[in-house]
Structure 1
Amino acid sequence: MDRRGFLKELGLVGGSGVLLAMFPWLQSCSDEARREVAGEKARLAIVGTGSRGQYHIQNLLNTPEAEIVALCDIYPPHLAEAAALCPGAKCYSDFDELLKDTNVQGLVIAVPLSSHAPLSIAGLRAGKHVFCEKAMAYTVDECKQMYDVWKETGKVLYIGQQRLFDKKYIRAVELINSGEIGQIVALRNFWFRNNDWRRPVPSPEFERLINWRLYRDTSCGLMTELGCHHLQNGTWILRSLPDYITGSGDIVYWKDGRDVYDSVSTIYHYPNGVKMSFDSVIANKRYGMDEQVLGSKGTLELSRDRLYHEEPRPKTGIRQLIGQIEQGVFDNSVFAGTSWAPELGSNDPGEPIVSSAAVHNGASMVGASGDGSEEMIAAYCRSVITGKQAPNLVEESYYAAVLALLGLQAMEEHRIVEFPQEYVIPYL
């Protein structure tokens, strides 16, 4: 599926349709937006050329609207690797010097979390458009600063919350809004891995530069690196803010000198009584990752692209017969036993979110691939060329980061944290 078919696959031919009103940032993916920039290229600088920066480079090299004109990094090996991918790009080791380059229209920032806000704010004030990796910033104060500077400068700002461009998530939110799963009663999010999250370093002096995720002075750990993706669902799906947050975090297993938690658990309480949870450990991968939306009529497993109805739709006669045999309906023995049996959940295989939503919406979709990253970076390029901000994108990203950071605050301070009203921005 090429990107030109992205909105058509979603049933948004020509940039019109109900979904476009629900997801206004997708305007930057419309046919009209593509025609507006036809033949033009956004002149971009990649700031931070490690693994994520090089991932963006690969996507941009396949994006017709992009031209990588500059690279910037303080770590020479990464800069050399990126330069090999972009032989025509000018290389910088000094970010301030890069900002003076008038050939650069936009920045793609993929650096440690603690540098997100300082570099993004400097870039916006220097007249550059900015794409900054998630999470938005290292502190709640910095998130608000970054938001205020964006409003003040009028430049384009994208934050790398790529699920906002992921077909599975777009379809899932459409199903939720249509009432397909009934009233939402809970959101459960988890991300489990089994690795130390550590990267090899050529010599000890580069430890904190390369493994910045493991240290509190540059990272907020699991909450911002993983959790901000899932916690985005609170704003996107519930269209509300929590009134208070609780959580706990510990270093349970990886006692190797890191000072960010390897185990976190949070609960976000909403005014209507709905709770959203996020749990993550990185010493057990049995359950992997998922975002689950529990409704009175059904359940969505967003990462797994599955929809389950509380009352599964009727199966064919042969499937019903097989199911009855499997459940022992035709056993000769008379039922007898304990008065309690474990409720192990349904064995119903469910159905794909994408095809279910396609049937609901009348669009022709048989599946979805990718995570939205390619669509998002291409949309950013079009916004750089036109100077038009993708609506609602900054606000969604702002709250995703703020929720992650407030969860971390609850852990570190061992207390219930109320949502601070001074960080409410005009949106919901």
Structure 2
Amino acid sequence: MNLTPEQQKVGKENFNESVAVTRRDFLSGTVAAGLATGAGLGSIYFGYGASVGDPLRVGFIGTGDEGSVLIGAHNPNYLKAVAIADIRPYNVFRAFHGDVSSPNAQRVRPGLMSKYGWKTEDEARKQVKVYGAYEELLADKNIEAVVIALPLHLHAEAAIKAMRAGKHVLTEKLMGHSIHECKEMGRTARETGKLLATGHQRHYSVLYDNAVHTIGDARLIGDVHSIRAQWHRGNLPGKDSWKPPLPTDESLLKKMASWKRRLEESKPSEVDVWSKRVAQLEAQLADSDVAAELFGYTEKQLPDGAPRTPLEELIRWRLWNRTGGGLMAELGSHQLDAAGIFISAMHGKGKKVKPLTVTAIGNRSIFPDDREVDDHVYCMYEYPAPDYAENPNKKIVVTYSSINGNGFGGYGEVVMGTDGTLILEQEQNVMLYKGSSRDTRVTVSKSKSGEAVLDTTESGGGSVAVVPTEASGKAPPSRGYTEEMEHWAWCVRNPDPANQPRCKPEVALADAVIALVSNVALKKSDGQPRIDFKEEWFDIESDVTPEGVKPNLQREQYKT
């Protein structure tokens, strides 16, 4: 975000100081006492129990890139993995062994064997059943709940079938592929009485919770009037994380030959690592035997004339409109969710503030016609400020960009208020500045009216011992994956209308409306890319949707 190391240090110290002062009672009382009992930070911050007694018996549906992250993040004290379902050998391997392609991949996707201490895959398979089609997993009466990390077009189908089969559901974001699907999911949750949560994990980030407090309760940056968010990546043709190699690609065969030679030449201390890497690559090559067409994937001729096989649609599902939702669904939805949380904090607790308008443009200027989704999107949103009802000019503008081809600035959010600026960087750090000054060390003092204010001269009274806002040098701060699953499991084990996931259907629907209506604005061909949001789109019980399709729970794909 264009800050020198010294400016970053100043900003982090400013933020830590502000949290220590404005949340002093909470940090020195509730948090400190909770940590002393051994409770996890998430349960203390977000108000759920330190354990559930009997862990929720869970099946993981979809164990690819994101599913394996969730497997690595789940806490066995709250959730017990008893089954997985995936049609790709590559994903099944990673579910058990983790992603052994690199140390960093192994860190974020450690696998079930590491999580539970099982020595071999045979031992693990005695504890965890393996299914291909997810419908087979749903028929397992021992499973109480499922975590869904399938391609986007399958979220509604799998979630609705799961709830009708008596399972509670946590599905990855985006909630659904269309607004009518999201409403169908929400209605099914109400009809079945099953808890449905969606994985917008910033709702469970301690880092973001402290930022929300700074913006809302403490009001340290004054009246928020502008938010700038971005997710910039260096993806380029030939180096694209959304276009992984197919199992038939020559590059994988060459890599296999190279890795086998490396294994033969390994020192005794390296044999285990390279044996696992070769085994993972063998599993990836085995994906060539998957009959993807039997699971609904289709062939198509691309604009560049090349054929796309059903297997390619499965493996590269993020590239296609039928199976994915592009940059706004995969990346933008997270940050617009965060922007909505910040703006809602300005309006007061318990209020979910919705945008008024969106204006958007997008293009595919980096990649060739080997995909359907844009590689650059730019969106501008108008939100109502707290006093909008009295003065329609009072608005908060959110600008968002997601681009490929240049990763400068990475991803994060900049929240600008009349008194200060808050910068959130890659879910790892938060920095606070007074006004636009990036070099000034600030403290927090009390105004004559008793409100907390940023001060560059007065002492803020020092900090308390517990300020869990950023990495301590041992591990990065939690991104919220663990906490969202813990709370979901706790809500299931403690049934009460008051015990609801923070990203329940009504909240997840709003996030989906913002992302998917932005996609509509990106595709408008009338030269008027602005869309006014309608209140009915955000109402689960309303049949009005932006795509003009009424919700219908009798669809063929929902039948078991």
> Which TM-score applies when normalising by structure 1?
0.79
TM superposition shift of 1:207: 1.9
Given the alignment, which residue of 471, 487, 493 partners 1:385?
Answer: 493
Residue in 2 that maps onto 1:120 = 159
1:203 aligns to 2:248 (yes or no): yes
Name which of structure 1's ranges 186-195 and 83-92 shifts more when overlaid on structure 2. Answer: 83-92
TM superposition shift of 1:163: 0.8
Could you list the structure 1 runs, at least 4 aligned residues long, displaced by more than 6 angstroms after superposition: 25-28, 349-353, 356-363
Structure 1 residues 170 and 143, CA gap change in structure 2 (3 angstroms):
same
1:180·1:297 contact (CA, 8 Å) conserved in 2? yes
TM superposition shift of 1:248: 0.7
Distance 1:163 1:363 in 2: 24
1:374 aligns to 2:482 (yes or no): yes
Distance 2:539 2:333 in 1: 18
Residue in 2 that maps onto 1:279 = 401
Report the secondary structure of 2:228's partner residue. Answer: strand
Residue in 1 that maps onto 2:372 = 259
> Which TM-score applies when normalising by structure 2?
0.61
Report the secondary structure of 1:255's partner residue. Answer: coil
Residue in 1 that maps onto 2:546 = none
Residue in 2 that maps onto 1:138 = 177
Distance 1:126 1:385 in 2: 18
1:421 aligns to 2:421 (yes or no): no
Tell me the alpha carbon deviations over residues 206-263 of structure 1, each in whole angstroms, 9 at most, x when there is no partner: 3221111111111111101000111013431222212211101110101150110100
TM-align CA RMSD: 3.1
1:150·1:157 contact (CA, 8 Å) conserved in 2? yes
Residue in 2 that maps onto 1:401 = 512
1:94 aligns to 2:133 (yes or no): yes
Indicate the percent of aligned positions where both proteins have the same amino acid.
Answer: 32
Amino acid at match of 2:510: Y
TM superposition shift of 1:64: 1.5
Report the secondary structure of 2:379's partner residue. Answer: strand
Residue in 1 that maps onto 2:325 = 220
Given the alignment, which residue of 45, 55, 63 partners 1:41?
Answer: 55
Name which of structure 1's ranges 226-235 and 79-88 shifts more when overlaid on structure 2. Answer: 79-88
Q: Matches of residues 229-268 of structure 1 in structure 2 within 5 Å?
A: 229-239=334-344, 240-268=353-381
Amino acid at match of 1:288: G
Structure 1 residues 45 and 308, CA gap change in structure 2 (3 angstroms):
same
1:236·1:396 contact (CA, 8 Å) conserved in 2? no
TM superposition shift of 1:81: 3.5
Given the alignment, which residue of 188, 193, 196 partners 1:149?
Answer: 188
Residue in 2 that maps onto 1:306 = 431
Distance 1:407 1:360 in 2: 45
Structure 1 residues 8 and 63, CA gap change in structure 2 (3 angstroms):
farther
TM superposition shift of 1:11: 5.8
Amino acid at match of 2:467: M
Name which of structure 1's ranges 357-366 and 181-190 shifts more when overlaid on structure 2. Answer: 357-366
Distance 1:360 1:405 in 2: 46
Distance 2:176 2:371 in 1: 21
Amino acid at match of 1:406: V
TM superposition shift of 1:128: 0.5
Structure 1: give runs of 5+ residues left out of the alignment.
Answer: 1-6, 17-24, 311-344
Tell me the alpha carbon deviations over residues 301-345 of structure 1, each in whole angstroms, 9 at most, x when there is no partner: 1234111111xxxxxxxxxxxxxxxxxxxxxxxxxxxxxxxxxx6
1:297·1:309 contact (CA, 8 Å) conserved in 2? yes
Residue in 2 that maps onto 1:68 = 81
1:156·1:387 contact (CA, 8 Å) conserved in 2? no
Residue in 1 that maps onto 2:305 = none
Structure 1 residues 350 and 155, CA gap change in structure 2 (3 angstroms):
farther
